[in-house]
Amino acid sequence: MARKILRINMSTLKAAYEDVPEKWARWAGRGLTSAITCDEVDPLCHPLGPNNKLVIAPGWVTGTPAAPSSGRTSFGGKSPLTGGIKESNAGGLSGQMIAKLGLGAIIIEGTPAKGKWYTLVVSKDGVKFEDAADLLGKGMYEVDEVLWKKYPKTAVIGIGQAGEMKLSNAGISVNDPENKPGRYAGRGGMGAVMGARGVKAMVIIDTGGPGVDIVDKELFKQGRRKLTESIQEHGLTKKAGGLNAFGTAVLVNILNEAGGLPTRNFSAGQFEGAAKISGEAMAELCEKRGGEGMMGHGCHPGCIIKCSNIIPDENGNAVASCVEYETTWALGANCGIDELDYIAKMTRECNDIGLDTIEAGNTVAIAMEGGLLKFGDAEGALATFDEIRKGTPLGRILGQGVEATAKAFGVSRVPVVKHQSMPAYEPRAVKGIGVTYATTPMGADHTAGYTIAPEIAGVSGKLDPLSNEGKAELSLTFQAATAFIDSTGYCLFIAFPILDIAKGWEGMAESVAGVTGQNITGADVVPIGKEVLKMERLFNERAGFTAEDDRPPEFMLNEALPPHNVKWTITNEQLDSVFAWVHDGHAA
Amino acid sequence: MRVTVKLFATLVRFKDGTRAGKPFEVDLPDASIVRDLIDHLKIPPEETHVVFVNNIIVENDSKLKDGDVVGMFPPVGGG
Ligand code: SF4
pLDDT at A262: 98
pLDDT at A584: 84
Average pLDDT over residues A316-323: 96
Query: CA-based Rg of chain A, rounded to a whole angstrom?
Result: 22
User: CA nearest B74 in A: which residue?
Assistant: A242
Q: B57 vs A462: CB contact, 8 Å cut-off?
A: yes
Going from the Cα of A305 to the center of ligand 1, the distance in angstroms, rounded, reads: 6
Q: A280 vs B55: CB contact, 8 Å cut-off?
A: no
Shortest CA gap B23–chain A (Å): 11
For residue A106, pLDDT beyond 70: yes
Ligand 1 contact, A491 CB (< 6 A): yes
Ligand 1 contact, A69 CB (< 6 A): yes
A456 contact residues in B (CB cutoff 8 A): 50, 57
Q: B75 vs A458: CB contact, 8 Å cut-off?
A: yes
What's the CA gap between A222 and A61, in Å, rounded? 14
Q: A242 vs B74: CB contact, 8 Å cut-off?
A: yes
Question: Where do the DSSP E strands lie in A398-515?
Answer: 416-417, 420-421
- Rounded alpha-carbon distances, angstroms, from residue A417 to A168, A325, A445, A446, A474: 15, 21, 9, 12, 19
Kindly report, residue by residue over A414-445, the tens digit of the pLDDT: 999 999 999 999 999 999 999 999 999 999 99
Average pLDDT over residues A515-520: 96
For residue A462, pLDDT beyond 80: yes
What's the CA gap between A319 and A220, in Å, rounded? 39
Q: SS3 for A347?
A: helix
Q: Which residues of B touch A (CB under 8 A)?
A: 6, 8-10, 12, 19-22, 49-50, 52, 55-57, 71, 73-79
Share of chain A above pLDDT 70, in %: 99
User: CA nearest B22 in A: which residue?
Assistant: A275
What are residue A301's phi and psi, to 5 degrees? -65, 140
Q: How would residue A586 be classed by pLDDT, with cut points 50, 70 and 90?
A: low
Give A566's strand partners.
A561
pLDDT at A588: 46
pLDDT at A1: 73
Name the residue among B19, B71, B76 with its Cβ closest to that of A242.
B76
Domain ranges for chain A, please list them.
Answer: 4-204, 247-417
Going from the Cα of A74 to the center of ligand 1, the distance in angstroms, rounded, reads: 14
Ligand 1 contact, A493 CB (< 6 A): yes
pLDDT at A585: 64
Domain ranges for chain B, please list them.
Answer: 2-73
Kindly report, residue by residue over A176-218, the tens digit of the pLDDT: 999 999 999 999 999 999 999 999 999 999 999 999 999 999 9
Average pLDDT over residues B41-52: 94
Q: Which CATH class is domain A4-204?
A: alpha beta
User: CA nearest B9 in A: which residue?
Assistant: A280
A446 contact residues in B (CB cutoff 8 A): 79
pLDDT at A67: 86
User: CA nearest B11 in A: which residue?
Assistant: A242
Q: A242 vs B79: CB contact, 8 Å cut-off?
A: no
Q: How would residue B40 be classed by pLDDT, with cut points 50, 70 and 90?
A: very high
Q: A257 vs B55: CB contact, 8 Å cut-off?
A: yes
Shortest CA gap B46–chain A (Å): 10
DSSP of A242-293: HHHHH-GGGHHHHHHHTT-S-BTTTTBS--TTGGGGSHHHHHHHHHHH-TT-
* Short-list A494, A511, A478, CA closest to A237: A494
What's the CA gap between A83 and A242, in Å, rounded? 37
pLDDT at B79: 79
Kindly report, residue by residue over A374-403, the tens digit of the pLDDT: 999 999 999 999 999 999 999 999 999 999
Name the residue among A254, A447, A462 with its Cβ closest to that of B73.
A254
Residue whose CA lies nearest to ligand 1 atom number 4: A491
What's the CA gap between A122 and A108, in Å, rounded? 12
Query: Cis peptide leading into B23, omega within 30 of 0?
Result: no
Going from the Cα of A308 to the center of ligand 1, the distance in angstroms, rounded, reads: 6
Q: Which of A251, A253, A428 to mutate to test the interface with B (most CBs of B within 10 A)?
A: A253
Atom of ligand 1 nearest to the CA of A248: 2
Length of chain A: 588
Ligand 1 contact, A306 CB (< 6 A): yes
User: CA nearest A240 in B: which residue?
Assistant: B10
Kindly report, residue by residue over A7-32, the tens digit of the pLDDT: 999 999 999 999 999 999 999 999 99
Q: How many CB atoms lie within 10 A of CB A505?
A: 23
Going from the Cα of A393 to the center of ligand 1, the distance in angstroms, rounded, reads: 36
Ligand 1 contact, A183 CB (< 6 A): no
CATH superfamily, with its number, for domain B2-73: Beta-grasp domain (3.10.20.30)
CATH fold group of domain A247-417? 1.10.569
Ligand 1 contact, A237 CB (< 6 A): no
A279 contact residues in B (CB cutoff 8 A): 9
What's the CA gap between A250 and A290, in Å, rounded? 20
Shortest CA gap B33–chain A (Å): 19
Q: Compute the C-alpha angle B23/A268/A309, nearest 5°.
A: 65
Kindly report, residue by residue over A108-153, the tens digit of the pLDDT: 999 999 999 999 999 999 999 999 999 999 999 999 999 999 999 9
For residue A458, pLDDT beyond 90: yes
**A210: phi > 0 → left, psi -120 to 50 → alpha, else beta; which?**
alpha
Q: How would residue A587 be classed by pLDDT, with cut points 50, 70 and 90?
A: very low
Name the residue among A235, A275, A307 with its Cβ closest to that of B78.
A307
Q: B79 vs A492: CB contact, 8 Å cut-off?
A: yes
pLDDT at B78: 87
Going from the Cα of A298 to the center of ligand 1, the distance in angstroms, rounded, reads: 6
Average pLDDT over residues B7-32: 95
Kindly report, residue by residue over B49-78, the tens digit of the pLDDT: 999 999 999 999 999 999 999 999 999 998
- Rounded alpha-carbon distances, angstroms, from residue A250 to A141, A245, A276, A499: 27, 9, 12, 19
Ligand 1 contact, A308 CB (< 6 A): yes
A251 contact residues in B (CB cutoff 8 A): 76-78
pLDDT at A379: 98
Ligand 1 contact, A497 CB (< 6 A): no
The overall average pLDDT reported for chain A is 97
User: CA nearest B54 in A: which residue?
Assistant: A257
What count of CB pairs under 8 Å joins A to B? 108
Q: A251 vs B78: CB contact, 8 Å cut-off?
A: yes
- Rounded alpha-carbon distances, angstroms, from residue A114 to A82, A190, A380: 26, 20, 36
Atom of ligand 1 nearest to the CA of A297: 7
Beta-carbon contacts of A355 under 8 Å, excluding residues fewer than 6 positions away, are A160, A162, A167, A169, A170, A171, A186, A349, A385, A388, A399
